[in-house]
């Protein structure tokens, strides 16, 4: 991931043939990324929950959502965008039909309370977000191939430019969650080891 300020993770473990950070527990993993990233393939190889989930990051208490009770799982993230009242995903027309693509309104992303007492839940350590973000060119090639078979509705509207802005949105979101103290790591391909942001995370 040459365009990101990331570094290798030195200590790894192998779970079902895939490298993960050594300090990650199997039931913490939430996989997200743009359409065509390989999220479903990763979850299938892990033997995780087969149904995709949707998480609106602008909704208060999203960290208590029932969809997060079953992990590992693939999740689609609803992002609050500047100029739009409701959060949308990167495959919603409200996102990719606007030129330029609307910026993420980070101030509207809700954050869980910090752990203050022993018996409080530490929401920042309960989940680990894997951002699977291949290059936009590779995603475009994958989606163009599967669009020929009409297997995914999200591929009906497809261009290299759409893939580029979707890629950029997930990069910015990953950086934001990292800086706010969530456990975040990234990889570009399932076969490649994960990486982490080079700068330290925000306060847990």
pLDDT at 34: 97
The token duo for 93 is 């027309």
For residue 139, pLDDT beyond 60: yes
Residue recorded with tokens 């929401």: 123
Residues 6+ apart with CB under 8 A from 57: 77, 78, 79, 80, 87, 109, 110
Per-residue model confidence as pLDDT tens digits over 99-116: 888 999 999 999 999 988
Strands 128-132 and 183-187: parallel
pLDDT at 50: 85
Q: Which of 95-104, 118-127, 131-140, 180-189 has the lowest mean pLDDT?
A: 95-104
Q: pLDDT grade, residue 97 (50/70/90)? A: confident
Q: Is 131 helix (H, G, I), strand (E, B) or coil?
A: strand
- CB distance 191 to 2 below 8 Å: no
For residue 204, pLDDT beyond 80: no
Longest distance between any two alpha carbons in the chain, whole Å = 54
pTM value is: 0.94
Q: Domains in the chain, please, with CATH?
A: 22-189 (3.40.50)
Q: What is the distance between the alpha carbons of residues 41 and 187, in angstroms, rounded to a whole number?
A: 14
pLDDT at 2: 53
Per-residue model confidence as pLDDT tens digits over 143-181: 999 999 988 888 888 999 999 999 999 999 999 999 999
pLDDT at 201: 78
- The torsion defined by the Cα of 174, 176, 179 and 182, in degrees rounded to 10, comes to -60
pLDDT above 90 covers a percentage of the chain that reads 81
Q: What is the distance between the alpha carbons of residues 190 and 74, in angstroms, rounded to a whole number?
A: 14
Rounded-to-5 percentages of helix, strand, coil across the chain: 30, 25, 45
Residues 6+ apart with CB under 8 A from 184: 128, 129, 131, 174, 177, 178, 196, 197, 201
Q: Which of 38-42, 48-52, 178-182 has the lowest mean pLDDT?
A: 48-52
Residues 6+ apart with CB under 8 A from 134: 33, 36, 37, 38, 142, 188, 189
- Helix extents (H) in 50-151: 93-96, 123-126, 136-147
Residues 6+ apart with CB under 8 A from 64: none
């Amino acid at each position: 991931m040459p365009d990101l300020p990331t570094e290798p993770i030195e200590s790894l473990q192998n779970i079902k043939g895939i490298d993960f950070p050594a300090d990650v527990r199997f039931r913490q993993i939430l996989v997200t990324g743009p359409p065509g990233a390989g999220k479903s393939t990763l979850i299938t190889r892990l033997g995780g929950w087969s149904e995709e989930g949707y998480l609106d990051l602008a909704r208060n208490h999203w960290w208590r959502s029932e969809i997060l009770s079953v992990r590992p799982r693939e999740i689609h993230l609803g992002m609050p965008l500047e100029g739009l009242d409701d959060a949308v995903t990167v495959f919603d027309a409200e996102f990719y039909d606007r030129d330029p693509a609307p910026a993420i309104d980070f101030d509207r992303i809700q954050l869980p309370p910090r752990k203050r007492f022993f018996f409080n839940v530490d929401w920042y350590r309960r989940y680990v977000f894997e951002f699977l973000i291949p290059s936009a060119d590779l995603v475009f090639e994958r989606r163009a191939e599967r669009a020929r078979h009409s297997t995914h509705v999200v591929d009906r509207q497809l261009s290299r430019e759409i893939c580029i802005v979707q890629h950029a949105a997930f990069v910015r979101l990953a950086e934001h969650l990292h800086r706010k103290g969530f456990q975040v790591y990234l990889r570009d391909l399932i076969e490649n080891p994960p990486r982490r942001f080079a700068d330290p995370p925000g306060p847990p």
